[in-house]
Amino acid sequence: MFGSGLAKGLGITMRRLLAGPVTELYPYDHKVLTPASRTFLAMYVNEEGGPACKACNTCIVGCPDHVLRLEKDPDDNRKPLEFVVNSGRCTFCGLCVENCPYDALHFTPDYERATYDRGTLIYHLVHEGAHTGEGDEPK
């Protein structure tokens, strides 16, 4: 009969209304991402407190979007002087983390990185040979 489909539709929407909302109240309930989530790039610290990176260049070669920049320490070929990632251009494909032979890179489960200035999206993970902690999740 004409109208039965309409009535059924009204019934469905009303039942959903009574079932209650599914909304997550994000800024009030901070969402914890799964460990597999690929978000922002950060670098581990080695035993001496320096960057875990060994400046092997694998990630730079593997990066499809040229968002990484590495400068080697002129004194020590196995030490990075600068390690920069342009998060404003990164596609978060994870090839750098996957390719890193020393497991120096990892993703931080953080997503609150919106800024007013594009320049601040360039993270210096290593600056003048020292691990900066930029890119790590803010404590």
What are the residues binding another protein (CB under 8 A)? 2-3, 5-6, 8-10, 12-14, 16-17, 19-27, 31, 33-34, 36-40, 62, 64-67, 86-95, 98-99, 107, 111-118, 121-122
Q: Least distance in Å: CB of 42 to another protein? A: 14
> Which one, 45 or 121, has the nearer CB to another protein?
121
> Which one, 27 or 49, has the nearer CB to another protein?
27
CA distance readout (Å), 76 to 1, 19, 73: 83, 64, 5
Pairing of strands 80-86, 68-72: antiparallel
